[in-house]
């Protein structure tokens, strides 16, 4: 067996195996006693498996309901959302996978050493953002160097944006020492953060705070997460033209997800506590007080009921948007079951305000439809080139709410396949300007960030 096969086999073992092994390694590096390190690694692994099972359970139930809803509405669009898993598979199936993985790992370490990020990513699965970008650019240009550079650029954006997420994860989700280096979870932050500041200045609107506590206060038992899951699940079922009992079953399944997800998040926090405490001691002594954040999968955020509530409410909103947006050919489907990944950071920015979260997510997703439409032919062609033709429905093109459908990664792709002497300087300058405005002018003014800084 050659080195590439071994490498690919390790990666394809999946995050449920890789994550506890990496957590164990980090714990050993930080000199956590082996018994505690092993217990922490296994606890985190068990929590991740639990989250994965519940999320797949949600997707399995929501997927057919969404498809039935689309059919019932008579929507006819020729670009089908095949889910982030399909785009990730494209990235992990390209011939330049080992090079890109090593480059991304090396870049993360380099940025840490140079004090240009505080994120130590152990979420190797979500390297798929850089890997898919590398695959898209490679098959568009045939140039390995340009493709690897595009992947590295994508990873750079991901690591830098994950530093923004750290105080949100700590202060809102109460998971200290953790951040989320996954672009599909971070991508809307440059839009959502300024919008939140704008809404804080609008009389009347700024006083609307529809959160889970408000729902419980004014709706009594109907404001409880379990009942909200039941109501929203039944609503989606009825919109899909399910009969009453089948709709009720979908509602009960969504209620179960609302109950079980917080339990798994609690296990994550429990498993990471010894490592986070030890890491803080070591980094304070060795890195002059710097806080190093462990980068994990966004699934650790799904324990908050406002995330699941927002995600369920966004299902009919996105389908309606697909119908009414002029010039759109992109039909949301598989990723509708994975909407918690896309809305979690928006919920954190708004402090759990469901009203704002729905409005901001609706606005943020508008460019996704057009980027998905414009790049669908390229994504479909790349899937065929890496041997995933069976994933393409007959007569359709494929896309996802990840990959080049995300506005920032769409811009990165266009820059690296264009006239590099013109497009790359424009991309670089745009990145610096946006970064400065968000990092210096917007981020410090967010209430949730101020609260974090004052602690």
The closest alpha carbon to 19, from 54, 45, 55, belongs to: 45
Of residues 372 and 229, more confidently modeled: 372
What pLDDT band is residue 150 in, cutting at 50, 70 and 90?
very high
Rg (CA), the chain: 21
Is the pTM higher than 0.75? The answer reads yes
Q: Which residue has the tokens 């971070």?
A: 186
Q: Within 10 A of 90 (CB to CB), how many other CB atoms are there?
A: 27
Bigger pLDDT: 366 or 272?
Answer: 366
CA distance 300 to 298: 5
DSSP-assigned letters across all residues of 182-201: -HHHHTTHHHHHHHHHHHTT
Tokens 């917080």 belong to: 262
Range from 344-353, 416-425, 435-444 carrying the lowest mean pLDDT = 435-444
Q: What is the pLDDT of residue 353?
A: 93
pLDDT score recorded for residue 15: 60
Percent of the chain with pLDDT over 90: 34
Instruction: Give the CA angle between residues 61, 63, 64 to the nearest 5°.
Output: 80
Half-sphere exposure at residue 64, Cβ-oriented, CA atoms within 13 angstroms: 8
Query: Percentage of the chain with pLDDT > 70?
Result: 86
- Most confident of the ranges 239-248, 326-335, 394-403, 408-417: 408-417
Question: How far apart are the C-alpha atoms of 452 and 448, rounded to whole Å?
Answer: 6
In this structure, of 117-131, 195-209, 265-279, 413-427, the range with the lowest mean pLDDT score is 265-279
**Residue 223: its pLDDT value, please?**
59
As beta bridge partners, residue 80 has: 331, 398
4 pLDDT tier (thresholds 50, 70, 90): low
Q: Beta-strand (E) ranges in 259-311?
A: 293-295
Task: Report d(CA 342, CA 309) in Å as an integer.
Answer: 13
How many C-beta atoms surround the C-beta of residue 77 within 10 A? Answer: 19
Token look-up 């424009």 returns 426
User: 212-219 and 305-324 are packed helices; what angle lies between their axes, rounded to 10 degrees?
Assistant: 100
User: Which of 177 and 172 is assigned the larger pLDDT?
Assistant: 172
Residue 453 has pLDDT above 50, yes or no: no
Separation between Cα atoms, residue 140 and residue 414, nearest integer Å: 10
Tell me how crowded residue 352 is: count the other CB atoms within 10 A of its CB. Answer: 24
Enter the DSSP assignment of 328: -
Confidence tier at 357 by pLDDT (50, 70, 90): very high
What is the reported pLDDT for 330? 93
d(CA 236, CA 228): 12
pLDDT in tens, 194-207: 999 999 998 888 88
Confidence of residue 455 (pLDDT cuts 50, 70, 90): very low
Residues 390-411 as b/e (b if ≥16 CB within 10 A, e otherwise) read ebbeeeebbbbbbbbbbbbbbb
């Amino acid at each position: 067996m050659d080195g590439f096969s071994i490498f690919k086999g390790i990666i394809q073992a999946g995050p449920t195996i890789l994550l506890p092994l990496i957590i164990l390694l980090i714990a050993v590096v930080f000199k956590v006693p082996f018994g505690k390190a092993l217990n922490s690694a296994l606890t985190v692994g068990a929590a991740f498996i639990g989250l994965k099972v519940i999320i797949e359970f949600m997707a399995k139930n929501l997927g057919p309901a969404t498809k039935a809803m689309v059919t019932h509405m008579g929507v006819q669009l020729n670009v089908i959302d095949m889910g982030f898993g399909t785009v990730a598979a494209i990235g992990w199936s390209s011939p330049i996978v080992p090079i890109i993985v090593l480059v991304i790992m090396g870049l993360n370490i380099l940025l840490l050493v140079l004090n240009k990020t505080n994120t130590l990513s152990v979420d190797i699965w979500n390297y798929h953002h850089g890997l898919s970008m590398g695959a898209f650019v490679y098959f568009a240009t045939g140039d390995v160097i340009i493709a690897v550079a595009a992947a590295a650029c994508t990873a750079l954006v991901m690591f830098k944006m994950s530093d923004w997420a750290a105080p949100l994860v700590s202060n809102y989700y109460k998971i200290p020492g953790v951040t989320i280096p996954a672009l599909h979870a971070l991508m809307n932050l440059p839009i959502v953060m300024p919008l939140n500041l704008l809404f804080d200045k609008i009389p009347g609107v700024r006083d609307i705070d529809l959160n889970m506590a408000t729902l419980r206060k004014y709706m009594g038992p109907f404001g409880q997460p379990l009942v909200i899951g039941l109501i929203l699940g039944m609503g989606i079922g009825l919109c899909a033209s399910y009969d009453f009992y089948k709709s009720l079953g979908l509602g009960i399944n969504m209620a179960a997800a609302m109950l079980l997800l917080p339990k798994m998040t609690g296990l994550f926090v429990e498993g990471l506590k010894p490592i986070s405490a030890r890491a803080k001691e070591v980094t304070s002594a060795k890195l002059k007080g710097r806080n190093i954040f462990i980068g994990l999968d966004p699934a650790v955020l799904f324990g908050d009921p406002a995330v699941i509530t927002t995600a369920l409410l966004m299902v009919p909103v996105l389908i309606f948007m697909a119908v009414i947006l002029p010039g759109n050919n992109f039909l949301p489907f598989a990723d509708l079951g994975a909407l918690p990944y896309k809305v979690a950071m928006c919920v954190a920015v708004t402090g759990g305000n469901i009203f704002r979260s729905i409005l901001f997510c609706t606005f943020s997703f508008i460019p996704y439809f057009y980027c998905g439409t414009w790049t669908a032919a390229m994504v479909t062609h790349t899937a065929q080139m890496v041997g995933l033709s069976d994933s393409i429905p007959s007569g359709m093109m494929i896309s996802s709410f990840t990959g080049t459908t995300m506005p920032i990664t769409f811009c990165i792709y266009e820059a690296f396949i264009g006239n590099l002497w013109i497009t790359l300087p424009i991309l670089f300058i745009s990145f610096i300007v946006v970064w400065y405005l968000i990092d210096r002018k917007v981020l410090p003014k967010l209430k949730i960030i101020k609260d974090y800084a004052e602690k």
